[in-house]
Structure 1
């Protein structure tokens, strides 16, 4: 079983926060809209934001298994544009997020 940042066992239903940085041709191609749609389908809250260095930052909170499903979708073929790589960071949820927004 994967471990959380705290070292304890992780379960699919425990709340988690995923921050993912997606690089490639992901700006100006509908990528953030696509991420928002997938996140909402999975019941996640958060945001997808363009960064100045042409990456997109995705922040998602919800059940860990739903966050993992979103991460798989980010890495899978079929995204708008072209994804060259995804770097992820897991942490405890902070809360305070409503819906899923594009920035």
Structure 2
């Protein structure tokens, strides 16, 4: 059997270990907070879409119009806009969407 009076190992620098642990914990807390915010927005979106189903269709049309206008304004000819001009802001209303 091994002698139980073996020399004790020298204590490791626990200050660095504690700092590393604190950094890891802070990183994990930030990740959890980020996930919590994302889940909150997802829940909000679900409630908004269930309350007003036409909201999703309106948002898709708005996004499509935005992309068309962006292509026309930026002059990016690689992407062909579906219409030649952007709709006038006064001509587009929420009721039309």
* TM-score of the aligned structures, taking structure 1 as reference length: 0.24
Larger radius of gyration: 2
Normalized per residue, the structure richer in strand is 1
Normalized per residue, the structure richer in helix is 2
* TM-score of the aligned structures, taking structure 2 as reference length: 0.25
- Higher relative contact order structure (alpha carbons within 8 Å, sequence separation ≥ 6): 1
